[in-house]
Every structure is written in structure tokens, then in C-alpha cells.
Structure 1
């Protein structure tokens, strides 16, 4: 059997990269971010393009993938998840991107893949996303057996405590006894920041990219913030700063305690976001050096390998890495689907 896959909302391709490693052939992928698509095409497959999700149809995707309805093995990818994030102050209903859940349902219905795989933030299963999760389940439950799991990526070997909701649908006529993969790592035996980045040379001091490591270069940081980092021990944040270096708003003890924070060498990283190269936005300072982590280090903590190059300016790259599904999670999920199909009737 050819394990064919179409990836929707593909971004730079974290999920697709893992699925490809597991044995899937990416027949087509799309996203509305031009630079993310270029990164996808460079590293994963040329069969990708910039598309408006609100306009593309299931017929369009099947034509581009050269498949008929019902032939595709896996439709993967999930609508943008930022609208469901607990960091959104106006809640899920305030973000128009969340309506793309309806589009996703229609694409599944029109393509009728044997499996579909969707990833979203952990809050998708909770108050902010529950209405949309219910909509997805009610829209597809007549044709698919749907499994919903909340996972911590650290339990699957990713050196990062990234919690996510995974949704897998198995078409009702597919007799394969699918089993969701078991965790490969358990606390306290999670992979750590130190285990992941210890082999890297320091980024060049002049700010240019390392000659052997793509995307490994220093982020811009002020002297004031370098001074702040020096006061923060591993695993701590802004509360360790002396009063003269605290921001006025932080003296009131409000806001996120992890900002102006430093990672721990012997623990997993916190969730890697699109602000990872700025330690004012989270616990993103290097565990041992007085700087923010580089894009290469962030990519490794997302479980990308050193050969995966991200294209674009620093803002593009931050967004691509922060929004990605850890490839290792995609690979494990892909293998579980292929195993079920091999063992099925």
C-alpha cells in the first residue's frame, strides 16, 4: 500500500516532516504563509503551495494530489491554534481563524480519507475550544471513529513540556483496530535541554549564522537585558531580578512569572513559542550562557534535526518554529497509523 498524505495548514512542516519519516508520501500540502511554504518545499516536498483555506475545496486538493475521493490514506494538519490559546485575552470566540474548523470538517467529508489527524493546543479540549471540538465530532461521527487525546510531548521524547490535543479519525469501513501510541518517556526520565543542545558550538559572537549550523545565530539583546539574565538562575524568571532591574509593572507581581526567565539544563524546555529568541517573552534564556536561545536550539527543542533549514527573516523563522508540531510526535503518530493498516484486514 502507498501511504499517501495531504497536509492542510502545513506551516513549515513539523507534522509532515515526522509523517514523512514514518513512511508517508506527502502528495500535496498548503498554507497561507508564503515563507513557511518555501521552507516546506525545501525540506519536505515540492508538492506544496500558498492557498487561501477559505477558498480551496476538497475537489481542488484531490486533483492536485492526483487521487479520487476515498483513496487518500491520511489527511493531516490542523487549523491555526492561536485562537484557542490561554494567552488569548478575548477567548476563542474572538478569533476568526477558529472558524476554519468548519472548513476542516468539509475537507474531511469531501476527501473521505481513511484516517485524519489533527493537532491543536491543549485548551482545544477545554472551555475555550470545546464548542469547536464538539462541532468536529458531531460533523464527522457518522463516518469516523474519533479518538481525542491530550498529550505532553515530553512523554514522547520531545525535550519540551508542550501539551497538545491530538485528534485521530478512522473511517468506519477501515477494519484495523487502531491503537493510540503509548508514551516512550516518563517523568523524571524526560529528555532535557542539556541532552539536546550540549553538542552545539556557541553561535558566532558577531551575530552571523554559524558556518555549519543553519539558523544558529545570536538574537539581538540589549546590554540591560544581558545584565538581567545574569541575575536569573536556571529554571527561574523575573522574580529573581533586583528591584532596580524590574519593570514597573512587574513590581506589582502581576503577569507571567516565566518572563525574563532561564531554562534548566537538566529539565525539558517550556513550550517553544514564536517569541523564543526574546527572554522577555518567556523562559527562553540559555541555561548556561547570558543570551536567548538561537533558532537552531529552538528547532532542536522542537525535535527538528540539524539538517532542517528555515527560510525567511528572523520573524518568519520564529513563527515557523514556534507554530510547528514537533516532528517526533508526527513520526510516532504516523508509525501507529501505518502499523494499524498493516495489521488490519
Structure 2
């Protein structure tokens, strides 16, 4: 029996792909527009990647590259850029990145996989993101997909990080039957993996900021100022800007305990999971990203470990570019759990005689209109 096939959109550095590969999937095609993320993906996962803007690719291009016909792909996955839906984001609701969610659905229509999986931030369920979520659900239903949705915390699946994400899984069964179930948590909140379990064994990076001779992507923040080093001396494990003496606080933080950025200038705790690793975890001024005891920000390798990337997974680009790749990735451990659940559903689906619906033609799909695209 052939291996189950997957096409990966908005692939980034490959966290989702790595987890799916571990779950047994055959990675047939991937798409990523960022050159450094694409370089990282190729270095670690292979050459089956199209470096292009997904908005300029036809679904037929994806299928030809993957060597599949419409309706043959087992799983189409993607994590469309999500900053436009972030609950932390300020400003108007209009953000060009939001409509990339609809680009994902355009590819679902063109590929018609047996399953699709889309990952996004919790804000997709917020007032700002809900119209796009409803559009996805409506169009998927018209195409014949039964869609499961859940908000999962990566910590429940062995990731040493509190990271909540919305996961949508659509299945095309051809009947009222449903085969997919979200994976049950593998650890309880009392037994979450901790920062210590993830990075406690790593040697301290060289004091001079040079790369560690044996551990890739493991160097100190080169631009850490003397003032910020002084601030770090006052911040205990689990502490943050509220622990700074007044003369070391930013003017906007002084006598302002309700300031919205409560996690900035924060230090991790050894025996708890980290908070969400973001695209700017490379600086403790951006969140709770200081080492638990050393007076420095996390290294890129430490962030990668908190995301469950293995040490032999090497990232390409400068510090800021690599931090973005790591922070935007789906943790491979979570991806593997989801991939295993889809694989189990595929196995059950193949064993049960059901009639799959005939894939719509692209012309028919194009007649399905969305007000968000008008």
C-alpha cells in the first residue's frame, strides 16, 4: 500500500511537515514564499518545495509538482500567516494577510484532498477573525467537507510551551459518516514538560557572542545593551518588568501596572512550560524570553527546543530571520499527534466501503462566491 500523501502550503521552516513525516506521511509538495524559510525547509526536509507566492500558483501547478491528480491527495495542510488575526494586534481590521486564509480554501477546491488541516491563532475565533472562519466553514461545506474545529494547547501534546492554536480538519467522506477525531492529550497540566526538561542540559553559549562550536543556532544575543544586562540582574525566574526598580523601567511602564504588555522584560521559570514562543522570542524586551538564570535572552536553539525541533534541524538566515521561522512554526510534536490522528482516520476510511463524492469542477467551484472576496 502506498504511503499517504500530503501537500504543505505556507510551509515555513517545516515544523508541520516534520511532524507529518514522523506520522508516516509522504511529503509530495510544499510552498513557501520566504527565501530563508524555504532554504531551511530544503536543507532539512528535501527539495520538494516551490519557492513562490501561493497567490500566483494554480492548484494544477501544485498537483503537477506533486505528481497527483485532483482528488488523489490524502491531506492538504497549511498555516496561513496569522498576524492579522492576533488578539495582541492593534489597528484596523483590514490586513492583507487575512485573505491568505481564503487562498488556502482556493487550493482545497482545486486539489480536493481527502482531508485538509489548517492551523491558525486563537484570534481566528475572535470578532476580527470570525468572518474568515465562517467563510472557510461555509465553502468547505459546499464542497462536501465535514469540518472539525478545536482550540488545542500544544502543552497537552508534550510541547514544553503553552501555545493555543485553532485547528480545522476537513474530511471528504461521501456520506454522513465521520472518521476523524482530534487526538486526546498525552500529558495532564500537572505533568506538562518544562523549560528545564527542554533546555536544561544545553551548555551555555560562548560569552563573546560567537556560535557554539558543537550546537547549531546557539549563540548569545549580540545586541544586548549594557542597560538591559543591568535590568536582567533584577528580574527573578518567572519575573518581569514589575520587578525592575523605577529608574530602570521604561517611562510607559512606570506607575502603570495595567499596561497591556505585561510579559515584556520577562524571565522564564525552570519548572514550568514557557509561554508562547513568538517570531520575536530572540529578545527578552519582546516578551518572557530571558533565560531562567543567565543574564541573556534565549538562543535560537533554545527556542527551537521549546518548539520541539530536534538539534539536527538547522535553520538558515540571520538571528531575526531564524527567530521568525521558529516562532511561526507548528511545533513538530503537535503536528505529529495531529498527523497520527489523520492517518488513523484515513485507515478507517479505506476500510469502510463509502462512496466518495465526485470532485467538483473548477468552474463549479468558481461559482461559489464569498462576500469577503468581492
Q: What TM-score do the two structures reach when normalised by structure 2?
A: 0.90
Displacement of 1:268 after TM fit?
A: 0.4
Instruction: Tell me the residue number matched to 1:116.
Output: 116
1:180 and 1:58 mapped to 2: Cα distance?
27
SS in 1 for 2:46: coil
Instruction: Tell me the residue number matched to 1:181.
Output: 183
Q: 1:196 aligns with which of 195, 198, 218?
A: 198
Could you list the runs of 4 or more consecutive aligned residues of structure 1 that deviate by over 6 angstroms after TM superposition? none
| Range 270-279 or range 174-183, more displaced | 174-183
2:160 and 2:346 mapped to 1: Cα distance?
29
Instruction: Tell me the residue number matched to 1:210.
Output: 212
Asked whether the 8 Å contact 1:74–1:115 carries over to 2, the reply is yes
**Cα RMSD (Å) of the superposition?**
1.2
Q: 1:234 aligns with which of 228, 233, 237?
A: 237
1:249 and 2:252 correspond: yes
Trace 1:238-277 onto structure 2 (pairs within 5 A).
238-253=241-256, 254-277=259-282
SS in 1 for 2:190: coil
Write the deviation string for residues 200-254 of structure 1: whole angstroms up to 9, x where unpaired: 1111112111122110010121111111111111112101000111111110412
Structure 1 pair 125/333, CA: closer, same or farther in 2 (3 Å)? same
Asked whether the 8 Å contact 2:121–2:166 carries over to 1, the reply is yes
Asked whether the 8 Å contact 2:205–2:219 carries over to 1, the reply is yes
Asked whether the 8 Å contact 1:176–1:343 carries over to 2, the reply is no
1:225 and 1:256 mapped to 2: Cα distance?
17
Instruction: Tell me the residue number matched to 2:6.
Output: 5
Trace 1:261-340 onto structure 2 (pairs within 5 A).
261-340=266-345
Displacement of 1:144 after TM fit?
A: 0.4
Asked whether the 8 Å contact 1:193–1:264 carries over to 2, the reply is yes
Asked whether the 8 Å contact 2:36–2:316 carries over to 1, the reply is yes
Asked whether the 8 Å contact 1:120–1:164 carries over to 2, the reply is yes
SS in 2 for 1:267: coil
Displacement of 1:97 after TM fit?
A: 0.9
Instruction: Tell me the residue number matched to 1:26.
Output: 27
2:115 and 2:309 mapped to 1: Cα distance?
25
Q: Give the gaps of 5 or more residues in structure 2.
A: 353-374
Asked whether the 8 Å contact 1:35–1:312 carries over to 2, the reply is yes
Write the deviation string for residues 152-211 of structure 1: whole angstroms up to 9, x where unpaired: 111111110011000000013286622110011111211000111111111111211112
Asked whether the 8 Å contact 1:10–1:31 carries over to 2, the reply is yes
Q: What TM-score do the two structures reach when normalised by structure 1?
A: 0.97
* Matched length: 344
Displacement of 1:94 after TM fit?
A: 2.3
Displacement of 1:332 after TM fit?
A: 0.5
1:20 and 1:212 mapped to 2: Cα distance?
26
Write the deviation string for residues 253-284 of structure 1: whole angstroms up to 9, x where unpaired: 12311111100100000110111121111000
Asked whether the 8 Å contact 2:7–2:30 carries over to 1, the reply is yes
